[in-house]
Chains A and B, each alone.
Chain A
Amino acid sequence: MKPILLKIVTPERILFEDKVNQVSVSTALGQITILPNHIPLVSALKPGEIIVRQEGKDEDLMSVSGGFIEVLADQVVILADTAERAQEIDEQRAEEAIKRAQELMVSRVVDAEQFAYFSAQLEKELARLHVVRKYKKSHRHVPEDFGK
């Protein structure tokens, strides 16, 4: 089958640009997987994971904090607000960020807008933590300091 051209971009950088066999993202209505020849679709992304499968390679895991996805027949564009590869996420710092966000939500909530901001922050960090844990689980055999 003809592969999909997938582009994942954030305002800061191009995170991913390659031909892939399938990609899974979590949209506002739940997780969807896109295979080649999908009908045109535009959807909003929720904080969560992006799973990319390529021929002859391990699946790629990324976290995303929200954004949009546009699907055309053989091209998928993900416009992410922020996105990171699982390899880049620091588990400990994600945990600390979650703790911080939770504390702020309890102690400093003044209005609805701020609450929304903090809970978005929290959701984003939870997604990151989820992705990095999942990544570590599937790469148990790799030593901690691998690649450093």
Chain B
Amino acid sequence: MPATRDIKRRIRSVRSTKKITRAMELVAAAKMRKAVTKVLATRTYSDLAWGTVLHLAKKLNAEHHLFFQEPKKVKKVGIILVSTNRGLCGSFNTQLVNKVVQSINIHHPEKVETEIITMGLKGRLESRRRKLNIVADFPKDDITTSSEKISSSAHLVVQNFLAKKYDKVFIAYTDFVSSLRQAPHVMQLLPIVPTIDERLAHTVHEKKEDINDINVDSFSDFIFEPDMKQILDAFLPRLVEIQIYQAVLESEASEHSARMFAMRNASDAASDMIESLTLAYNQARQASITAEIAEIAAGSAALN
């Protein structure tokens, strides 16, 4: 029966697709667990480093270091775009690039030149499709293991900022709020604005932490060893590096959760499809049996 055979073939193909998506879901779940433990471990460090900067910024004037100085006129902006290497993670990268385009429109509506530095293949392709100005691309590992891996990109933006090539540097990444929710986010890296960004998941979670509540005003000035300039020169670039590292880890945790859910949705959709196809198959089979019986009955009736 041609009809039933076609349906049967469809069912078989959907079933094997489901097997694949199911396997990918499990792989993504395992990777997500790994990425989430890493991102949580690093949050303490980056929060404490950020806390130190907040304390320092309260005590120092902005003119003490170039990194604190708000440019008078913003002419050129650099954006680091942290995306994924692989697809099949829903609208993850599209949303992120949307957010970047949005922030370009909001932050500098007057013609400000924006340069994009991409990390990850999919973000690069998407940005190119949107005709954004890509100037550099750094390869991204699927699981970033240490902060040394991103030091080259950190070095690039810091150098460009110090050379006054960029007046502001942003980083666009997907913040990991929970395994169910990831929020694309554009954060200012340079110059350093010493305020707590409430929108970020981890600062909201850990706001109770005593670190930000310490009232520095009551203290005498900081002592710097060997001296302030050397400390700031060493510490602030390191902070930028840590922030990029943290963003990359957040993005990885988000990527794997997004992929896990995309794959779970695909598996569920495949199940639904198999169900309705099976129903159609059974109906077709039943119809053909009925037709056959009717034919036999008609045949025997004709003989009599």
Closest B residue by C-beta to A73: B219
Say whether A41 contacts B225, CB under 8 Å. Answer: yes
* Interface residue tally on B, bucketed by range: 20 to 34
Stretch at the interface among A3-11, A103-111, A129-137: A3-11
Is A29 on the interface with B (CB-CB < 8 A)? Answer: yes
Q: Per-position contact with B for A96-115: 1 when CB-CB < 8 Å, else 0?
A: 00000000000000000000
Q: Per a CB cutoff under 8 Å, which of B38, B48, B224, B234 touches A7? A: B48
**A28 contacts B225, C-beta separation under 8 Å:** yes
B219 lies within 8 A of A42 (CB):
no
Interface residue count on the A side (C-beta < 8 Å): 23
Q: Provided the pairs A42-B52, A68-B235, A72-B216 are in contact, do residues A79 and B224 lie with their beta carbons within 8 angstroms?
A: no
**Does A43 sit at the interface, judged by CB under 8 A?**
yes
Q: How far is the CA of A26 from the CA of B205 in the complex (A)?
A: 34
CA distance A28 to B226 in the complex (A): 7
Query: Given the complex, which residues of B lie within 8 Å of A10, measured CB to CB?
Result: 45
Q: Does B304 contact A (CB under 8 A)?
A: no
The total of Cβ contacts below 8 Å across the A-B interface reads 83
Give every chain B residue within 8 A of A73 (Cβ-Cβ).
219
Task: Tell me what chain B mostly uses at the interface: helix, strand, loop, or mixed.
Answer: helix
CB distance from B19 to the nearest CB of A (A): 36
A67 to chain B: closest residue by CB: B238
Contacting residues, chain B, for A41 (C-beta < 8 A): 222-225
From B41, B56, B225, B245, contact of A29 by CB (8 A) = B225
Known contacts being A70-B52, A70-B55, is A44 close to B219, with CB within 8 Å? Answer: no
Determine the chain A residues whose CB is within 8 A of the CB of B222 once the complex forms. Answer: 40-42
B223 touches A9 (CB 8 A): no
How far, in whole Å, are A89 and B45 apart by their CA atoms in the complex?
Answer: 22
B-contact 0/1 string along A21-44, CB 8 Å cutoff: 000000111000000000111111
Query: Is A77 a contact of B52 with CB atoms below 8 Å?
Result: yes
What are 27 residue pairs bridging A and B, where the CB atoms are less than 8 Å apart in the complex? A11-B41, A11-B46, A11-B146, A11-B242, A12-B38, A12-B42, A27-B225, A28-B225, A28-B226, A28-B230, A29-B225, A39-B223, A40-B216, A40-B219, A42-B225, A42-B235, A43-B224, A44-B226, A44-B234, A68-B52, A68-B231, A72-B216, A75-B210, A75-B211, A77-B48, A77-B51, A79-B45
Nearest 10 CB-CB pairings of A with B: A43-B225, A9-B45, A40-B222, A41-B223, A70-B52, A40-B219, A11-B45, A13-B41, A29-B225, A77-B48
Interface residues of B, Cβ cutoff 8 Å to A: 38, 41-42, 44-46, 48-49, 51-52, 55-56, 59, 146-147, 210-211, 214, 216, 219-226, 230-231, 234-235, 238, 242, 245
